[in-house]
Amino acid sequence: MRLQVLLRLLQIQRALVRHGLDDFVRATHLYRPFRFLVLLSPWTWFQRSRGVTRGERLRLALEELGPIFVKFGQAVSTRRDLLPIDIADELARLQDRVPPFDGTTAIATVEAAFGRPLGDIFADFQATPLAAASIAQVHVATLKSGEEVIVKVLRPRMREVIELDLTVLEALAALAEEYWAEGRRLRPMEVVAEYRKTITDELDLLREAGNASQLRRNFAGSNLLYVPQVYWDYCRINVMVMERIHGIVVSQIDELRARGTNIRKLAENGVEIFFTQVFRHNFFHADMHPGNIFVQVEDPENPRYAAIDFGIVGTLDPRDQHYLAENFLAFFERNYHRVAALHVESGWVPATTRVDELESAVRTVCEPIFNKPLKDISFAHVLLRLFETARRFEMRVQPQLILLQKTLLNVEGLGRQLYPELDLWNTAQPVLRAWMRERSSPRAVLRSLRQQLPDALESLRLMPRIANVAVRAAADGEFRLPIRSDEVNFLRAEMRLGARRREAAVAAGILWLSGLIWLVAGPSYRSAGWFVMATAVALFMLRRRHRNASSV
């Protein structure tokens, strides 16, 4: 696996060079002394994308590198305010126009999943896909009972491809956590672990079908969002069948306006849907790029969203949910002291943080953006200032909130495209206040007590037995309290770091130099032999380093 990771890293770099994105490679610190070799290489001159725009080169590189990179491009594409127009337009094509795989492969996958010929399952099945995405593609079909449906089919070998890229991310995160000054605060290993759970869940289409059913129940009878019906009898781990819906893709603003759509109401409904999902339902669609969102305009004055692709959903721990809601409300009211105090109470910043200093820093960043429409707010600037504030106060990244932050950026990006004059604050505030009132109402308190009463009674019943066992253990001298020392763990980590820093640096240098020679010279016998030899030496040293670290 380690050799596969190293080869994958070189594949990534070669793909960037092949598509004319040399700057990304040459910006790497280890390559700067050898930049002239890359520039002089005939392989760099002739074997690269030509006659295409920079945005297209970037899109093609992401498509070649696979689903994780495609998803990155999808997420970035929603922020047209932060990207040049040509790049934003090209990355938007990743939302539903990724190159499809062959229709015969899709048919074989469906037949294998059901163990029956296609004609026994569907009255009609269109082999040409309707749309293709990074993880799966969809085909239009008709059930024997006559309903028009969408059949979602997982791409071949997705698990192997994604597992390799996740291993690459974990290796890079481990290096960052050990050798980067900000590593411990930003917790890259935990961030990658959280992403691993998210992307692995997306590979299970039965889980996605369950997510769709839950979201459909949450918005049953709602005029805000429509969720298509899942046909459970036709769902398998790599095949999912659901109702086909019709609508206008949310990014087609001109078409929406031509239909007389109330754009302002549509934008405000999007904000309300997001906050309703996060706080009232605690179950939110976390992949809200434009390719997954349609608008139904049968009644243009009351447009309704329709969502698809439920592979990524998010939930929050009740404690995080409470602190987030309190932070939002305090922020809307410009109560920066409360914002600072909540960050300390929640443990997002060290307990020793001075609340008054954090309050002043938050005020400095946030005060200029109030009472302004989206078109007048530079969120890129605000985010950079907030990151600087976080670094100053040693604010640790909260991996469990990253999915929510990504979704909020997507929602804000959609709102900016639809209706730049949208007042984000006044639209979200009533939803949050209503949820807080419901949460603290006597009915909600009684409901919570009723739900917790059986557990409380069971704990009371077991209390005498637990106390008796503890007393006997203490009398026999066997009573132990587990002690966890972060300081001891820190010292051990520092010892391991010192023991392997020298060997890791030498191994990394050999590996990267061999990769450079391979990149410049091309896949000749000589460069291939050098690469294999250097990789073997590097792997031997890494293995030795691992053994030494294990003995510390």
Altogether, the residues listed in the chain come to a count of 552
Q: Could you tell me which residues come within 8 angstroms of residue 548 by beta carbon, excluding any fewer than 6 positions away?
A: 499, 500, 503
Closest among 338, 144, 134 to 233, alpha carbons compared: 144
Hunting for tokens 């290993």 — which residue is that? 189
Write out the DSSP string of 418-439: H-TT--HHHHHHHHHHHHHHHH
SS3 122: strand
Alpha helices (H) along 259-297? 263-275
Name, in order, each residue with C-beta under 8 angstroms of 274's C-beta and a sequence gap of 6 or more: 284, 288, 407, 408, 411
121 vs 117: CA distance, rounded Å: 7
Contact 80, 417 (CB under 8 A): yes
Q: Exposed (0-12), middle (13-18) or buried (19+): which is 526, by Cβ within 10 Å?
A: exposed
User: Checking phi first, is residue 298 left (phi over 0); if not, alpha (psi -120 to 50) or beta?
Assistant: alpha
Nearest 10 degrees: CA dihedral of 508, 543, 487, 494?
-40
Buried b (16+ CB within 10 A) or exposed e, 370-379: eeeebeebeb
Q: Which of 250, 168, 239, 228 is nearest to 203 (CA)?
A: 239
Q: Sort strands 293-296 and 122-125 into parallel, antiparallel or unpaired.
A: unpaired
b vs e for 135-172, b when ≥16 Cβ sit within 10 Å of the residue's Cβ?
A: bbbbbbbebeeeeebbbbbbbeebeebbbbbbbbbbbe
Catalytically annotated residues: 287
CB-count exposure of residue 224 (10 Å: 0-12, 13-18, 19+): middle
Q: Which residues contact 137 (CB under 8 A, 6 or more apart)?
A: 98, 100, 101, 106, 129, 131, 152, 153, 155
Q: What are phi and psi of 114, to 5 degrees?
A: -95, -15
